[in-house]
Structure formats: C-alpha cells, structure tokens
Structure 1
Amino acid sequence: MPTSQDMTTHFDPGLLDALQHQVALFARRAEQTRLGSVGQVRSSMDRAAYLLLNRLDREGPMGVKALAAGMGIDSSTVTRQVAPLVDTGLVKRTSHPEDGRAVVLQLSPRGQARLEEVRTSRRALMAQVTDGWSDEEKESFCSLLTRFNTALSARQNGHPHPLEQAGAS
C-alpha cells in the first residue's frame, strides 16, 4: 500500500500546498460567518446545531442512534449536542409512534422557524458572495465541494481513497 508520501509525489506539491491553504482559509472564514461577523447575527448558529436541525428537518423525527449514524458521530456526542436544543425549545423529545418506551427527537415549530431564519440569511450571504458567478460556476463549485466533503467523510469513516485501494491490490 502506498504511503501518504508516495501518493503526494504523483501531484504537484505546490498545488497541494495551495489547496490546503485555501481549505484552511475557507474553514476560518466559514467559522467567522457562523459567528455572524460576515453574515450578521441572523445567520449565527452553532455548526452542530445547524447540522442537527437540518437533518431532523429533512428526515423527520428519529432516535439518537439513527441521528448519530446518519451524521457519522457517536451517540453520546449527539446527546450532548441535542441537550441545549431541547432546553431552548428548538427540538422536542416525543414518544416513538410504534414503541412508546422509545424517545425520538423532532424539530419543534420554534426550531423550524429558527432554522428557516438561518437558512434565509445564509442563502442571502451565498448569493452575495457568488454575485457575478455564472450558474455553471456555482454548480461546479458546489459539485466539487460536495465531492471534497464526501472524500473527507469517507476517509474519516475508514474507507480508503481509490489510490490507496489501487496500491493494495
């Protein structure tokens, strides 16, 4: 199996340095935006809260284990992250419809309203930041960013990169 060093020799080190630098800048600016310094307070929401609320909105009520599995994190982490959302009324705990002993997490009306407020603000920010970009450029950037995030997620979940698989054969 090739080492990390072997894999980077196939690529331009300067390009890889530029890529990692841009990813670091992106992460910092994304954090600043989350805190409201770029996108204003309306878009400010803890990253974990935003991702949890989004998943509950898109997939409906679910238990902690299902939520954790879908997000690729530990159940205890989800439990910790959900607690303040329940305390502030953004998420509610309800009985499972088929097993009254089990608890499911559900987006509350207040949580739905807050999530929509943040989404609207972030959409406006994305429109502002990409003003002057063609639809094709926006689609390409979104596609490449999705691909990048998918590759990072696969790596973190123990699924090797195709170059690593090729070297293992």
Structure 2
Amino acid sequence: MPSSPDMTTALDPGLLDALQHQVAVFARRAEQTRLGGTGQLRTSMDRAAYLLLNRLDREGPMGVKALAAGMGIDSSTVTRQVAPLVDTGLVKRTSHPEDGRAVVLQLSARGRARLEEVRDSRRQLMAEVTEGWTPDERESFCTLLTRFNSALSARQSGTPPHAPHTQSVPTS
C-alpha cells in the first residue's frame, strides 16, 4: 500500500533518508557475507536453503503450498529451491498420511544436523558482530528488526498495518 504524502511529510525526512540508507547498506552487507557465519561454514548454505530448512525444522513436515504460503513466495519457487535440498539428502519427500497422492516435505536427520551446524556458525557470527553490545541492546535490536521485517512482510502481502507492539523473538 503506497504511503500518503501526509504520512512521510509528518516524519523527519532526514531520519527517513538515514533509515533507508542504512537498510540499503545492511542489505548489501548481508548479501556480500550472506550472514553465513564464521569459519568454513561461513558461506556454506545460501539464504533460501537456510530459510526453508529452518521453517521445516520449526513447523514440521508440510506440503509445498503450505511452505510457500508461510514464506510468502510462489509454490514454483519453493519447488525449485527444494529440489537441490532433496538431491543432497537434507529434505525428504514423503506421501501425505491422509492423501497418498500429495507430497509432504520433511527435514531429514542429515538436514537437521547440517542446519544445526550452520546455526551454530551464524550464532558465533552474531556474537562477534555484536560483541560490544549489552544483552538489552541485542534484544532491542532483534525486537525492532523483527518488527521491521513483519511490517515489510505485511506491506508486501497487502495486510493492513498493525498497531505498534513488541513481538516475540525466536530463540534459535
């Protein structure tokens, strides 16, 4: 939904410019490093694979349509992104328990172990990048970034904006 001129002029344009610039810099840095972690695992899993594996780990087995809907992407994109994960044994395709014709995607034991390796590496990266931060600063940053991402997601899906509130922060 486009913003009205009144909405942006009522806010500090200099601050909005600084915010959009910092978001652009963050996106570039994130893409350059892929926020992949530290050591040998630094760039060992691309963003799409990480997000798909993470979702299957957190929410359990599901079909392509449910996975796509939950991630806000097209089913054909999920199918394309899942194929190499199946080929490498990180994800298993199984028959739906109630409809044998439907396919369910499930994180394999190998996928779960690989995901945990990458998570550990990324946790180490986050610890290093925020080394001088207090626990409250880390929590505040995570809360605000979660809120920012939720607002972007809602805007892309056409969902009306919600009143400001604190969202829960995932712990793993």
TM range (shorter): 0.7 to 0.9
Task: Measure the CA separation in 2 of the matches of 1:33 and 1:81.
Answer: 20
Q: Does 1:24 align with 2:16?
A: no
Task: Measure the CA separation in 2 of the matches of 1:15 and 1:112.
Answer: 42
Identity within the alignment, %: 82
> Counterpart of 2:83?
83
Task: Measure the CA separation in 2 of the matches of 1:161 and 1:35.
Answer: 28
Superimposed CA distance per residue, residues 112-138 of structure 1 (whole angstroms, 9 cap, x where no aligned partner)? 111111100000000111112111111
| Local SS of the residue matching 2:61 | coil
The farther-off stretch of 147-156 and 82-91 is 82-91
Task: Measure the CA separation in 1 of the matches of 2:131 and 2:35.
Answer: 22
Contact 1:68 1:75 in 2 (8 A): yes
Task: Measure the CA separation in 1 of the matches of 2:12 and 2:86.
Answer: 48
> Counterpart of 1:166?
none
| Local SS of the residue matching 1:100 | coil
Deviation at 1:9, TM superposition (A): 0.1
Gaps of 5+ in 1: 164-169
Contact 1:68 1:74 in 2 (8 A): yes
> Counterpart of 1:156?
156
> Counterpart of 1:57?
57
Task: Measure the CA separation in 2 of the matches of 1:28 and 1:62.
Answer: 32
The amino acid across from 1:43 in the alignment is: R
The equivalences for 1:113-124 within 5 A come to 113-124=113-124
Count of aligned positions: 162
Between structure 1 and structure 2, the one with the greater Rg is 1
Task: Measure the CA separation in 1 of the matches of 2:90 and 2:147.
Answer: 31
Deviation at 1:39, TM superposition (A): 3.4
Deviation at 1:2, TM superposition (A): 8.2
Task: Measure the CA separation in 2 of the matches of 1:39 and 1:20.
Answer: 28
Task: Measure the CA separation in 1 of the matches of 2:147 and 2:67.
Answer: 22
Q: Structure 1-normalised TM-score? A: 0.88
Deviation at 1:80, TM superposition (A): 1.0
Deviation at 1:3, TM superposition (A): 4.6
The amino acid across from 2:158 in the alignment is: G
Gaps of 5+ in 2: 164-172
The amino acid across from 1:107 in the alignment is: L
Q: Structure 2-normalised TM-score? A: 0.87
